[in-house]
Amino acid sequence: MRKGLPGIIAFVNACTLVATIGATVSLPTRILAAGPEDPPDAQGRPNVIVIMTDDQETTSMPFMPRTNELLGGKGVTFPNAFVSFPLCCPSRATFLTGQYAHNHGVFFNEPPYAYDSFRGREILPTVLRDEGYRTIHVGKYLNLYGSTDPTEVPKGWTNWHAPVGASAHWYHGFTMNHDGKLERYGRPQDADPQTYATDVMRDIAISQILDAKKAGQPFFLSLAFLAPHSEATFPGQDRLDDPRGAPRHANKYQDLQAPRTRSFDEADVSDKARGVRTIGRFKDGGIKRLDALYRARMRTLLGVDQAVAQIVETLRGAALLRNTYIVFTSDNGFLLGQHRFKHHKYVPYEESIRVPFIVAGPGLPRRVESQQLVSNVDITPTVLDLAGVAIPDQVDGRSLVPFLREPERTFDRILLFESGPAPSQGFDLDPLHEVLRLEEATVRLYQGVRTETFKYIEYEDGFVELFDLVKDPDEMRSVAKDEAYVGIRRLLAAALELMRDCRGEACRVAEARALAGALA
């Protein structure tokens, strides 16, 4: 074993301990402050709220001080949280099922792989409603929801409040389906402060929380903000003010620049996949546009940060906070200049697959970070476990409750990530900005695995990337062809082979077998 590869040594030594979630290996965890939250209300089952942003990179969290304090300061933050498929529609389907895309079948944001291919497969709200929970959705749903039938209320939801069709990507002028009845909110061109999407979704969520309180029924609330996603175009729109923050924040961050990370406008991409090698470097105008986009994105998060604070205050005022778990996350990350991508997701690099992930609530330690690797495939089983509901066999992920209760515990894990088949015709991967066509800028399909210290990616054309994340966290140089990493590459290739088609409990078994295989 090569010196300088500590993660794979721990990965090997812990192999025999990971057959169950209870077998763990303790690693250092930074405890920011001690003291558990107040215990749950003994009179009723807990409520659960999942707040999801759209296309939010983890490096943007410093722009959300209220969220960091009210949720991170009252709960557990997971800095090593990832999505299994870094694209809006597949990721949201994973959130609602606890399944990888190869099982739930949603592979893209466009037909035939968007909402229509998912309809009726919702596991999380259906199970909770069957167990007596009021299930509430407010905000963006899966892409193209409402395009066929804008009055449809998807399976499993007791109360439904979602923007329909293309209007789901407007900050003003969207049409909402309120339990089967449609209502228009302003016009895109007007930018009326009373019809700003983040504020509208916040107010509906607060109203729904209070209604559930009156009914005396435990509730699950899925609250999905559009921010900081870019906006669908409309006549006369100024693209430098896209996405639009709340009008009250219009003058914020005038001099802000996108982070100039090591991989920003990467000079040498010869080690990257074929599609990445076709992307040219930035020109001055491109960098200025990127900075304008970054400023606009951060402005939208100010409204979300305020919404989180108002929701927490509502829970406190209604005497619900002591009995409510709150999860904050995003559907995927976002690249802003890294590896030459102007503004992008979908690809398997860290900025794209890593997301914010915070859980706060009764009985949890405060101001704690868990170093455990987690995935969005774990959200459904975690929510069900927090609610005291049995986890269905078809769920691929695992409950994170043991790590919420004891954040210092960890176990070695292999996370699967993947893409999927996309429409065969040319289309825009990033249609709200410049054209970035799939066949020109990325490889169509990939699957890979990520451990604490390594990332291994196989592309459909046979190209392989391998990154030593300890030595090279910015993924500047693939070591797939480095003789010193031959053994690591074989181990991770074998792990991917075991996990690429797994289903349900077999996913956990495959992961344990992959870890155990490192002993061979």
Residues serving a catalytic function are 88
- Residue 500, classified by CB atoms within 10 Å of its CB into exposed (0-12), middle (13-18) or buried (19+), is middle
The residue count of the chain comes to: 520
Mention every residue, 6+ apart, whose C-beta is less than 8 A from residue 479. Answer: 466, 467, 468, 472, 485
Joined together, the tokens standing for residue 147 give 């395009």
Sign of CA dihedral 145, 148, 153, 154: negative
Q: At residue 82, what is the residue type? A: F
Largest CA distance in the chain: 65
Alpha-carbon distance of 49 to 379, in angstroms, equals 11
Mention every residue, 6+ apart, whose C-beta is less than 8 A from residue 486. Answer: none
Q: Is 219 helix (H, G, I), strand (E, B) or coil?
A: strand
Q: Is 212 helix (H, G, I), strand (E, B) or coil?
A: helix
| Three-class SS of 338-373 | ECCCCCECCCCCHHHHECCEEEECCCCECCEECCCC
Joined together, the tokens standing for residue 34 give 């001690």
**For residue 437, what are the β-bridge partners?**
428
CA angle 240, 249, 429 (to 5 degrees): 40
